[in-house]
Amino acid sequence: MNISTTILFTLIISFISYNCAISQPNESDYYQINQIYIPKEISLEVGGLAFNDKGSLGVSTRRGEVWLILNPENTKSEYIRFAHGLHEPLGLLYHEGSFFCNQRGELTQLIDEDGDNQADIYKTITKWNLNGNYHEYSYGPILLPDGQMLVTLNLGWIGYGDSGSKWRGWMLKVSQDGKVTPYATGLRSPAGFGVNAEGDIFYTENQGDWVGSGRMTHLESGDFAGNPAGLRWSAEMGSPVKLKFGDIDDTKNLSLYENQNELEGVKAPSIWFPHTLMGISTSDINFFSKKMGPFEGQMMVGDQGHSKIMRVFQEKINGVYQGVCFPFIEGFASGVLRIINNPNNDAFYVGQTNRGWGSTGQSSYALERVSWTGKIPFEIKTIKVHPEGFLLEFTQPVEKSVAKIISSYEITDFTYLYHHFYGSDVQNKESRNITDISVSEDGLNVLLKIDQFRKGYIYEIKATGILNKSGQPLLHDFGYYTLNEIPERKSNFTAKNTATSITKKVSVKHITVEPETWLNQIDVNIEIGTAPGLKFDQSSITVVAGSKVKLTFNNNDDMPHNFLLIAQNKEDEVGIAATKLGLNGAALDYVPETEAVIAHTNLLAPHEIESIYFTAPDVPGPYPFLCTFPGHYLTMRGVLTVTPKSVL
């Protein structure tokens, strides 16, 4: 390359990168993630995080230790083991000179009497029975404005949620002297909870049995949030919950919102996090401080499985909480379980672990610090409901010429079924017509009027075409608004139940009956199952080219999986294509329509088994196989090696 070519080349590259900088904003331009140093000998599988009054960060771990990080902002911070021998404390609180943590079987106060940064007294505040199921996680405590503490107790898992010991599936209030007040139930996997500025209590839930998708619920005393296992204890002394186990009926194919209207005590969520589109396993709740950019007072909600944090704006309409969730920041090293603000600066800390649960970030644990760069991202700051549509507020003025065009937006609404199965497909999806657009004088607000509201539905609101004044697109151009209430109720709008279903084509790639032409001759019988940590139980299988294969996939796991055999070197392409199926993914079993898929099973529910029949490729070589359920394809994969036919 001569000099002038080099200069020209450099100019082209800088031109391209300049334009990319305008057209492709990155999260890291606004919020930066940095790893906190962890000494090699410490397995810092974070269960809880709390700053003490000296600015040290306390970290409780799933290994049963509590570490004090004396100077978490330094590159080589100093770790002191404050406590040990605890039973998987999945939460940590610092209050009036002590740490409190919730072990599986008790709430414990850790007291450092002599100030040497090591706990001298492990004091039981209160305790409860365990029945030994691995899934009996206990979370918290967090502090309530009245000085009481709040804890939650996970259900056990025996193929479905089970409350094998008292108060499993409940949120409990505990006073400093150990008095327990049962507060609410219907909880399944309540890893995250918090109190907003008004003193209202919210908890987040993971998709599962009776839970169509991840969600957040505003809990008041006596509420029932949806999973009936905990109702086993609703007649116990002190229970404020009136519902009984037998009151719950899922045979009518209703949503949770419709059940709320039929049965007193049922509480529909304030926010749904649509499964795979926002996250797959919601975790901690944290709040943006004034120093963390333009979102003061909004919530951060973690997602363990997708290694990300979402952003939530809520409003109260007719006395009921509802609101919108947006993507915020992704790319954490492990599964996001805990988020905490550093009270002394503009940073927040993200505690992570993925053992037994799996996550997009591949490290088994991590502690990361996120700081705001001081730049304002171009984002939809809030979405509020309006009597005739939705009001979108932006962080920067929008370019009015594009903001006034209907094709800059897309609005779709849908719901989930409330039933005892694990998760729910998207139900009754419809496109909404935008009937009118008005843009405010300052360009910061856009009102979209729509043809119809459906209460209890989730609104996917996309603003893909929107640009700011310098021609830059939004950093994230969509949100999901959960509509429980409409201000100034309109009379003519009635909910229709016209289901739009995606018709799945009958595919030669999914054959579940032995082909007649095989004449009962199967060359190879393959049986494959799953292993903990988002894996198949075998990663390599060998077959001879052209053989007739019967493959039986036994999904012996707690979550849905599928099996796809893929053309050589196409595994990432197919994995990404499956993720991009969006709202249609579940109806298509997360199988993208592409030549790269050779054969596949359906998406199997937990404990479902399916056999498929296919002919092995004629060309020898390695053929990847994958699960394409969102979040799984990076780890849940293996190779089917096709060997040449033996020469006779």
Nearer to Cu ion (CB atom), residue 8 or residue 531 = 531
DSSP code per residue over 97-136: TEEEEE-SSEEEEEE-SSSSSS--EEEEEEE------TT-
Considering only CA atoms, which of 486, 479, 405 is closest in space to residue 448? Answer: 405
- In this structure, the strands spanning 458-462 and 410-416 are antiparallel
Nearer to Cu ion (CB atom), residue 173 or residue 561 = 561
CB of 283 to Cu ion, least distance (A): 19
Considering only CA atoms, which of 200, 227, 330, 223 is closest in space to residue 278? Answer: 330
Residue 525 to residue 554: CA distance in whole angstroms: 13
CB of 569 to Cu ion, least distance (A): 21
Nearer to Cu ion (CB atom), residue 406 or residue 576 = 576
Considering only CA atoms, which of 117, 103, 196 is closest in space to residue 153? Answer: 103
CB of 496 to Cu ion, least distance (A): 35
CB of 636 to Cu ion, least distance (A): 5
CB of 17 to Cu ion, least distance (A): 37
Length of the chain counted residue by residue: 648
Nearer to Cu ion (CB atom), residue 116 or residue 527 = 527
Instruction: Give the DSSP letter of residue 490.
Output: -
Q: Distances in Å between the alpha carbon of 170 and those of 53, 125, 196, 225, 244?
A: 31, 18, 20, 10, 14
Nearer to Cu ion (CB atom), residue 411 or residue 627 = 627
CB of 637 to Cu ion, least distance (A): 10
Nearer to Cu ion (CB atom), residue 481 or residue 536 = 536
Residue 72 phi/psi, 5-degree rounding, is -60, -15
Instruction: Give the DSSP letter of residue 346.
Output: S
Q: Which residue is nearest to Cu ion (CB)?
A: 627
Nearer to Cu ion (CB atom), residue 21 or residue 605 = 605
Residue 531 to residue 538: CA distance in whole angstroms: 8
**CB within 8 Å of 21: residues ≥ 6 apart:** none
Scored b (16 or more CB within 10 A) or e, 324-353 reads bbbbbbbebbbbbbbbbbbeeebbbbbbbb
Scored b (16 or more CB within 10 A) or e, 13-26 reads eeeeeeeeeeeebe
CB of 122 to Cu ion, least distance (A): 40
The edge-to-edge listing of strands for the beta sheet with 271-273 is 192-195, 201-205, 214-219, 271-273
Residue with tokens 């893929």: 566
Nearer to Cu ion (CB atom), residue 281 or residue 412 = 281
Residue 359 to residue 368: CA distance in whole angstroms: 15
Nearer to Cu ion (CB atom), residue 349 or residue 357 = 357
Nearer to Cu ion (CB atom), residue 329 or residue 627 = 627
CB of 553 to Cu ion, least distance (A): 10
Residue 43 phi/psi, 5-degree rounding, is -90, 90
CB of 579 to Cu ion, least distance (A): 12
Nearer to Cu ion (CB atom), residue 454 or residue 632 = 632
Residue 35 phi/psi, 5-degree rounding, is -70, 140
Nearer to Cu ion (CB atom), residue 52 or residue 635 = 635
CB of 632 to Cu ion, least distance (A): 3
CB of 197 to Cu ion, least distance (A): 39
* Strands annotated E in 515-596: 524-528, 530-531, 535-536, 540-544, 548-554, 564-566
Nearer to Cu ion (CB atom), residue 17 or residue 540 = 540
**CB within 8 Å of 262: residues ≥ 6 apart:** 254
CB of 307 to Cu ion, least distance (A): 16
Nearer to Cu ion (CB atom), residue 180 or residue 534 = 534
Q: Decide: residue 311, CB within 10 A, 0-12 exposed, 13-18 middle, 19+ buried.
A: buried
CB of 76 to Cu ion, least distance (A): 39
CB of 480 to Cu ion, least distance (A): 23
Residue 479 to residue 33: CA distance in whole angstroms: 23
| Whether the Cβ atoms of residue 423 and residue 560 lie closer than 8 Å to each other | yes
- The token duo for 366 is 């991590």
Interaction site with Cu ion (CB under 5 A): 561, 627, 629, 632, 636
